[in-house]
Structure 1
């Protein structure tokens, strides 16, 4: 049987630990020639999941409980797949023996996957050097700066390099685990595990749709502050740089220079970002069709809106609405 070892380090993030345990635990192989839909309750386990740790007891990141791990680091050598959940402080030094155990497993061909900021653990071992990887979008810049040999992509839900996989935060762990199950046992087994996890087998879009795209701010008391407030309030209008400059009472050259000095971007790029933010709000809170939202957010056409929205958010307006619009009663 395929053994999955989940490595619980001290201050482990509870969801990162439980997600692979449950997802791989739901994977069942149908007995004989039974139709899969009829075999899911008494099918054979597709995986044996073991929780491993450096010490028998591990504190959860929340501090609300401790985990008692029945297996030590030696069990990693017996695993076919190793899952590395995130920890509260991903920049902390690795406990003695962890890097060596992971490198030894990798040398033997073991598949190793990280969840969320567990990518920092893999990066610290050197196993991700020269590879593309992801992590939670809030930690992506730190991962890239600490480990320049890793090509960090903050916009995807997971990255599969074959032997090494990395996933983004929280629910992206489920996406990655289902992806591995499908590769191991086919779509039917993965689809059943997805249903039992109340998850789609595949989610449209990537991690970018969950990122809060803050507008580049001006320093407190900066001369552009009133202009930015006016721009945000009027982003639905068909504005030009000349009009913005006229409202600000300065030349277009001065306006562009001030924007770069105080926000790090140009007036039009700032305006486009404000329009995307307005569109996100309308998609989340109104039933308006995309064509109306495109006009209200200041885009010249629905096509231009869709292209700009996908470029910034990483998914389509329709998919974004489906994911984030609150159910109306």
Structure 2
């Protein structure tokens, strides 16, 4: 799998580093390659930095995934040469990703027409007015439209990239990389951009983290919310609020993702027998396991496993 990240003058180092951190070595397992491409060999970055770019924009034409990490100004059109590479990538069937204001570049390229998309909430109104053919979701962390993905501001680019990694290599791999990066896994794209989360390192945050880690390690368990609340030393309502703030959804939603992740890990490791895999992961039966794969990934377990062998 080959990735291309399109860089430009006055780029934010944080935005540039987001896809490099998620898809680059030493974190990702498997034969992935990620190239930084630009129209110039040397670029200025915000903060007074200078970046040496190893590949020209044309190198992106060989990539399976092309990512535009942000854009320097929502009021300035994205460079025509970058727009052309996005159009070419979309035409040949590559996955195209616009992080934060990078969605403006995808919209200029016409690849978002008739699709849902998101961008930074502060520029969503401008985006919607400029590109009326795009259905803008100003609250989502990211939007996955299959061959085209967009994300909201700055840090949500990590969520989008981890989601894409989960699509390509399995949720288990995405969670593993998230742990290396010390970021929260499983934040869904529908989580509002402005949801307040518990303070990192707080006592409540640590207790919720411990509970989620326990459930991730034992996804076949059927925990009662009252029992978990007692274990965390908080009320049922407080635990529910903490879990929603941390994961973007309910405990049931998160458990479904954790169970699906374990199923992917077992299948990738050679497990056979869908009923046995379902039982080990906490699904009632193989039918429920297959339904989870179809609803979350758009594939049957067999189709998903065949795709992993091709990557």
Q: What TM-score, normalized to structure 1?
A: 0.58
| Separation in structure 2 between the aligned mates of residue 322 and residue 103 of structure 1, nearest angstrom | 36
| Cα distance in 1 for residues equivalent to 2:36 and 2:138 | 28
Instruction: Give the superposition deviation at 1:64.
Output: 1.6
CA contact (8 A) 1:4 1:80 kept: yes
Q: 1:263 corresponds to which residue?
A: none
Instruction: Give, in whole Å, the separation in 2 of the partners of 1:7 and 1:201.
Output: 25
Residue 189 of structure 1 aligns with which residue? 173
> Given that residues 87 and 111 in structure 2 are in contact (C-alpha distance below 8 angstroms), is that contact kept between their aligned partners in structure 1?
yes
Q: What is the CA-CA distance between 1:124 and the residue it aligns to?
A: 1.0
Instruction: Provide the C-alpha distance between the structure 1 equivalents of 2:68 and 2:36, rounded to a whole number of angstroms.
Output: 10
Deviation of residue 120 (structure 1)?
A: 0.7
Compute the displacement of 1:81 (Å). Answer: 0.4
For the pair shown, the structure with the greater C-alpha radius of gyration is 1
The answer to whether the aligner puts 1:114 opposite 2:98 as a matched pair is yes
Alignment partner of 1:126: what SS? coil
The answer to which of 202-211 and 89-98 deviates more is: 202-211
Task: Check conservation: 2:141, 2:156, Cα contact below 8 A.
Answer: yes
TM-superposition CA deviations, 1:40-96 (whole Å, max 9, x none):
xxxxx4421100001111221x24212111111111110010110112213313324
Using the TM superposition, give the Cα deviation of residue 209 of structure 1 relative to its aligned residue in structure 2, in angstroms: 5.1
The counterpart of 1:57, out of the listed 15, 32, 42, is: 42
Q: Among residues 93, 110, 113, which one is paired with 2:77 in the alignment?
A: 93
Please, which of 123, 131, 134 is the counterpart of residue 107 of structure 2?
A: 123
Residue 205 of structure 1: how far off its partner (Å): 7.7
- Secondary structure class of the residue paired with 1:92: coil
* CA–CA distance in structure 1, aligned partners of residues 189 and 111 of structure 2: 27
1:178 to 157, 162, 170: 162
Match of 1:157 in 2: 141
Counterpart mapping for 1:136-155 below 5 A: 136-155=120-139
- Find the counterpart in structure 1 of residue 213 from structure 2: none
Task: State the alpha-carbon separation in 2 of the partners of residues 161 and 205 from structure 1.
Answer: 11
1:318 corresponding residue in structure 2: 242
Q: Per-residue CA shift, 1:255-277, capped at 9, x if unaligned?
A: xxxxxxxxxxxxxxxxxxxxxxx
Local SS of the residue matching 2:101: helix
Asked if the contact 2:159–2:189 (Cα under 8 Å) also holds between the matched residues in 1, the reply is: no
- 1:188 CA drift (Å): 2.2
In structure 1, distance between residues paired with 2:69 and 2:109: 15
2:7 is aligned to 8
Shift of 1:204: 5.9
Distance 1:128 1:164 in 2: 8
Coordinate RMSD, CA, aligned: 2.6
Distance in 2 (CA, whole Å) between partners of 1:52 and 1:68 is 10
Structure 1 residue 156: deviation in Å? 1.0
- Relative to 1, partners in 2 of residues 1:89 and 1:119: Cα closer, same or farther, differing over 3 Å? same
Deviation at 1:171, TM superposition (A): 1.6
The equivalent residue for 1:19 is 18
Deviations 1:8-36 (A, max 9, x none): 1222122111011011125433xxxxxxx
1:98 to partner: Cα distance: 2.0
**Alignment pair present for 1:68 and 2:67:** no
CA 1:96 to 1:132, structure 2 compared with 1: closer, same or farther past 3 Å?
closer
Matched-pair contact (CA < 8 Å) for 1:8–1:52: yes
